[in-house]
């Protein structure tokens, strides 16, 4: 997959697209690199609670199961940013479960599980373009909303999601602490965009 995907209004693609940057779907073979990027990010955060560590088992599940999607940017082959769309369906892992137990609402919702940009590659629109692409994936799969949980002190993550039109809709009291729930409804423009894009890519 190349980096020249079209962007919805208000979302820029990376300015260096085509100059060593490549948008890639990650799979099971990329588990080690994903763990390394998470470990490097956690080490820079020096014990700050804003980013929770995902287990290798969880990452392996995200990379292997087709209902999830792990999308990344590589720069000259190095993994520099990653975002994970996680379809928990009606399970307890759905962020929607903090707001409702209605099964149709759960089925129509999807989690944006993780976003990381490598130090030295931040504020370059890498994360925003990944999340925007994953929103299109969700829309093309019939989802009606994307939800993310964010640590209240994670200014960068809150700024990222707010820049994409997400709003705080509640709070989640989790086993690892309080999290804010951010939501963006997927509307007809997302669905139309996804349908057009799928058609054009075929
Ligand atoms: C949060 C994070 C993923 C943002 O990645 P990024 O690639 O730098 O973000 P982008 O360049 O796509 O930024 C898009 C917008 O988000 C907002 N934003 C990004 N970083 C921000 C910051 N430090 N402070 C405030 N707003 C910020 C801005 O609105 C930005 O647009 P602008 O650059 O035009 O002003 C990155 O800081 C990171 O990896 N943090 C550590 C891991 C983490 O906490 N992940 C989120 C929890 S899962």
User: Could you read off the pLDDT of 82-134 as tens digits, one per residue?
Assistant: 999 999 999 999 999 999 999 999 999 999 999 999 999 999 999 999 999 99
Q: What would the pLDDT profile of 180-202 be if each residue is shown by its tens digit?
A: 999 999 987 776 666 665 544 43
d(CA 37, CA 180): 24
Is residue 110 a contact partner of residue 147, using CB atoms and an 8 Å limit? yes
Contact 104, 96 (CB under 8 A): no
pLDDT of residue 196: 62
Distance 163 CA to ligand 1 centre (A): 9
- What pLDDT was estimated at residue 20? 78
Which atom of ligand 1 is least distant from the CA of 148?
48
CA 8 to ligand 1 center in whole angstroms:
19
5 pLDDT above the threshold of 90: no
- Ligand 1 mutation target, pool 159, 161, 172, 174, most atoms within 8 A of CB: 159
Q: pTM to 2 decimals? A: 0.90
Task: Indicate if ligand 1 lies below 6 Å from the C-beta of 105.
Answer: no
Residue 198 host element (H or E): helix 188-201
Instruction: Compute the mean pLDDT over every residue in the chain, rounded to the nearest whole number.
Output: 89
Name the residue with the closest Cα to ligand 1, atom 24.
156
pLDDT recorded at residue 9: 36
Return d(Cα 95, Cα 8) in angstroms, integer. 25
Q: For residues 50 and 33, what is the distance between their CA atoms, to the nearest angstrom?
A: 21
CA separation for the pair 102, 67 (Å, rounded): 20
What's the average model confidence in pLDDT over 23-43? Answer: 97
Question: Is any ligand 1 atom within 6 A of the Cβ of residue 115?
Answer: yes
In short, whether 163's Cβ falls inside 6 Å of ligand 1 is yes
Higher pLDDT, 196 or 23: 23
pLDDT digits (tens, 9 = 90+) for 35-91: 999 999 999 999 899 999 999 999 999 999 999 999 999 999 999 999 999 999 999
Check pLDDT > 60 for residue 155: yes
First to last CA, the chain: 13
Task: Give the Cα separation of 6 and 53 in Å (integer).
Answer: 32
**What atom in ligand 1 is closest to the CA of residue 45?**
41
Confidence of residue 152 (pLDDT cuts 50, 70, 90): very high
pLDDT digits (tens, 9 = 90+) for 159-176: 999 999 999 999 999 988
* Of 16 and 108, more confident: 108
Q: Are 126 and 80 in contact (CB under 8 A)?
A: yes
- pLDDT value of position 4: 43
Round to whole Å and give the CA distance between 201 and 185: 25
Q: Which domains does the chain have, with CATH numbers?
A: 21-201 (3.40.630.30)
76 exposed, middle or buried (CB, 10 Å; 0-12, 13-18, 19+)?
exposed
**Which residue has a Cα nearest atom 42 of ligand 1?**
116
* 202 CA → ligand 1 middle, Å: 32
Whether residue 97 has its Cβ less than 6 Å from ligand 1: no
Q: What atom in ligand 1 is closest to the CA of residue 114?
A: 48
């Amino acid at each position: 997959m190349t980096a020249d995907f079209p962007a919805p209004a208000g979302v820029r693609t990376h300015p260096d697209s085509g100059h060593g940057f490549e948008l890639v779907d990650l799979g099971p073979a990329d588990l080690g690199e994903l763990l390394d990027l998470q470990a490097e990010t956690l080490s820079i955060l020096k014990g700050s609670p804003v980013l929770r560590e995902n287990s290798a088992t969880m990452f392996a599940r995200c990379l292997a199961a087709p209902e999830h999607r792990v999308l990344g940017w590589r720069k000259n082959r190095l993994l520099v940013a990653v975002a994970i769309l996680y379809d928990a369906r009606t399970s307890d892992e759905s962020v929607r479960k903090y707001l409702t137990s209605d099964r149709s609402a759960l089925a129509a919702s999807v989690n944006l599980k993780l976003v990381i940009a490598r130090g030295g590659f931040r504020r370059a629109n890498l994360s925003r373009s990944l999340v925007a692409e994953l929103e299109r994936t969700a829309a093309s799969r019939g989802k009606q909303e994307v939800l993310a949980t964010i640590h209240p002190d994670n200014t960068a993550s809150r700024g990222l999601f707010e820049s994409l039109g997400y709003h705080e809709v509640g709070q989640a009291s989790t086993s690892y602490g309080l999290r804010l729930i951010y939501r963006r409804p997927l509307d007809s423009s997302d669905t139309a965009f996804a349908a057009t894009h799928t058609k054009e890519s075929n």
